[in-house]
Amino acid sequence: MKAVYPGSFDPVTLGHLDIISRSASIVDELIVGILVNNNKKPMFTMDERLEMLRESVKDIANVTVKTFEGMTIDFARENNAKVIIRGLRVISDYETEMQIAQVNRSIDSSIETMFLATGLEFSFLSSTIAKEVAFYDAGVEKLVPPIVVTKFKEKYNK
């Protein structure tokens, strides 16, 4: 079974990696898709996000990282994936993700959405929180992989 795990990953966090590693243990092949989201102004370029994610998942044999534009359902179809993985932290995530899953299912009912609850230790974590913690130099090492710590230091000149 092949699955996609989409997101903007600006930047990748330990919460994302929790979902990636757990998903990779369930499916035969996992494609992490970095979405070009024109509604967001990312801190990191697409090339930086691609580098950080590839470095962070390099030891997980059945995971590849790609970029995409457009709808996740189209990305899943283009990659012959049968499942879209989505991580849930809080109830509000569920409401939003359920709406997206229902729309995707109305477009292509052959592709399922699988929700994984993030580990309890990451339930508060988002890329936005990681960026703020990094800005104030307040222990971001507990939130993101080492390559992201390095990239934050470069961005914030610390």
Active site residues: 16, 40, 89, 127
45, 152 Cβ separation under 8 angstroms: no
What's phi and psi for 6, nearest 5 deg? -90, 155
Q: Count the neighbouring beta carbons within 10 Å of the beta carbon of residue 38.
A: 7
Helix or strand run (H / E) with residue 112: strand 112-117
* Number of Cβ within a 10 Å radius of residue 74: 14
Closest CA to 85 of 35, 122, 31: 31
| Torsion sign, CA atoms 119, 14, 46, 64 | negative
